[in-house]
Amino acid sequence: MWDKKMSEFYRNYLQETVAPFWLKFGLDKKDGGFITCLDRKGEVFSEDKSVWFQGRGTWTFSKLYNDVEKRLEYLEAAKSGYEFLKKCYDTDGRMFFTVTKDGKPIQKRRYYFSETFAAIAYAEYYKASGDKEALELSRKTFDLIENLYRIPSLTTPKYNTETIKLKALAVPMILLSTAQVLRSHDEERAQKYDDFVSEMVSEILTGGYLKEDKKALFEFASVDDKPVQGPKGRLVNPGHAIEAAWFIAIEAIRKKDDNMLNNALEILNWSLDIGWDNKREGLLSFVDVEGKPLEQLEWDMKLWWPHTEAIYAAALAWKVTGDETYKEWLEKIHKYSFSKFCDTEYGEWFGYLHRDGSVSNTLKGNIFKGPYHLPRALILVSDLLNQKNLDEYFPL
């Protein structure tokens, strides 16, 4: 009964509060796509558009249509995002990071996360619409991403590679999820994506990020297996680590790989223990495993997205193991999140809290916050809590 009650709560909150907020305020009915720079009430404070969220928003509304309810408004929102997303390319085939309201380029960054979110958007929209162009775009975009990943010299490095040989967890983590989504919607290329998924899982688990002696999945690792010196070598991003844990866990369930599942659960356990603020509750944004000062001045803030990831990860761990400890985590994270982030007056969630849980900024969206982490978690956890048998469970 608890499972069913909570599943209904998440589903209702998704369809009655979160999705309507973005449909009413974020969907650009004139130029297409999504505006995410919204204040507390949903009013626009900047018309600049995040290309990440043209992809993420398209994926979200396609996923809502595919897996929650076949509402025409979801499909129309997904189509609007899809059509706008195609405007966001530079002449070299890469995508921009931000564009104007009508799609003119503003900024382009070295990393290829705009492309990863576009790829999952195209794949999910293909499932929703049957549009073969979307399928081809997902393939073309993934091939571009893979090429950029395998040939680092094609992008400008963030650090001087002769001096600092770093790699970031965010890359294999996001590539893992990207390939998982594309594999689900492209039967012809499923083996290609499956091989890439296995490669990314291996990179996360054996590429130097995971340190069992430190009981942590670190944000950075060295490309030459040498220790990473200074603050970057001690840095854990609990949100990223928890997100990576559940990506790996669903892969372990799919492949019935107990060792992989144990790795995922271990990462989750460590990340919750490291990240949870025992003094004031909530997940810290960054942690130094040795308790030394951090470079990130926002280290002690509580952000919305690690909490959405932790809600789903704890629910998944509880369902797959039956361990009541994970249910206790789920209840604790849920209680904190819905009492601190949730805006009961105007809907959706605040994104940024001070360490004591007070609201730092009342915005509901910006270039980095929009219709993705929260609705994704609500979609996945509401479905998960209804699952009686996880043998065939695969949410992406």
- Whole-angstrom Cα distance, residue 6 to residue 40? 26
The residue ranking higher by pLDDT, 298 or 2, is 298
User: Residues of the chain with pLDDT > 70: what percent?
Assistant: 100
* Residues 315-339 pLDDT 10s: 999 999 999 999 999 999 999 999 9
Mean pLDDT of the 145-168 span: 87
Residue 166 Cα distances to 16, 160, 292, 294, 334, angstroms = 44, 9, 20, 18, 35
Query: Tell me, what's the pLDDT at 154?
Result: 87
Query: Tell me, what's the pLDDT at 251?
Result: 97
- Whole-angstrom Cα distance, residue 342 to residue 336? 10
Token digits for 87? 């405007």
Tell whether 47 is covered by a domain.
Answer: yes
Residue 161 has pLDDT above 90, yes or no: no
Tell whether 395 is covered by a domain.
Answer: no
Mean pLDDT of the 254-276 span: 97
Residue 198 has pLDDT above 70, yes or no: yes
Query: Tell me, what's the pLDDT at 96?
Result: 98
Residues in CB range of 271: below 8 A, 6 or more apart: 216, 217, 236, 238, 241, 242, 245
Residue 160 has pLDDT above 80, yes or no: no
Kindly report the CATH number assigned to the domain that includes residue 200.
Answer: 1.50.10.10
Residue 169 has pLDDT above 70, yes or no: yes
Tell whether 377 is covered by a domain.
Answer: yes
Q: What is the DSSP-derived secondary structure letter of residue 293?
A: P
Query: Tell me, what's the pLDDT at 125?
Result: 98
Mean pLDDT of the 22-47 span: 98
* Residues 232-243 pLDDT 10s: 999 999 999 999
Tell whether 393 is covered by a domain.
Answer: no
Rounded to 5 degrees, what are φ and ψ at 328?
-65, -40
Please report the DSSP string for 91-134 in residue order: TTS-B-SEE-TTS-EEE--SS-HHHHHHHHHHHHHHHHH--HHH
CB of 4 closer than 8 Å to CB of 382: no
CB of 290 closer than 8 Å to CB of 282: no
Mean pLDDT of the 153-181 span: 90
Rounded to 5 degrees, what are φ and ψ at 323?
-75, 120
* Residues 361-396 pLDDT 10s: 999 999 999 999 999 999 999 999 998 888 878 888
Token digits for 308? 């959405």
Tell whether 271 is covered by a domain.
Answer: yes
- Whole-angstrom Cα distance, residue 212 to residue 156? 32
Domain coverage including residue 19: 2-384
Query: Tell me, what's the pLDDT at 1?
Result: 67
| pTM for the structure as a whole | 0.96
296 pLDDT band, cuts 50/70/90, is very high
* Residues 96-133 pLDDT 10s: 999 999 999 999 999 999 999 999 999 999 999 999 99
The residue ranking higher by pLDDT, 159 or 72, is 72
* Residues 333-362 pLDDT 10s: 999 999 999 999 999 999 999 999 999 999
Tell the residue number behind the tokens 């626009």, with chain if given: 44
* Average pLDDT over all residues of the chain: 96
Tell the residue number behind the tokens 């001096």, with chain if given: 163
CB of 154 closer than 8 Å to CB of 147: yes
Q: In which region does residue 33 sit, left (phi positive, over 0), alpha (psi from -120 to 50) or beta (all else)? A: left
Of 61-70, 220-229, 286-295, 323-332, give the lowest mean pLDDT range.
220-229
Tell whether 391 is covered by a domain.
Answer: no
Mean pLDDT of the 75-91 span: 97
| Number of structural domains the chain divides into | 1
Mean pLDDT of the 206-216 span: 96
Angle 361-365-369 (CA atoms, 0-180°, nearest 5)? 105
Residue 72 has pLDDT above 80, yes or no: yes
- Whole-angstrom Cα distance, residue 305 to residue 243? 10
Tell whether 319 is covered by a domain.
Answer: yes
Tell whether 77 is covered by a domain.
Answer: yes
* Residues 182-196 pLDDT 10s: 999 999 999 999 999
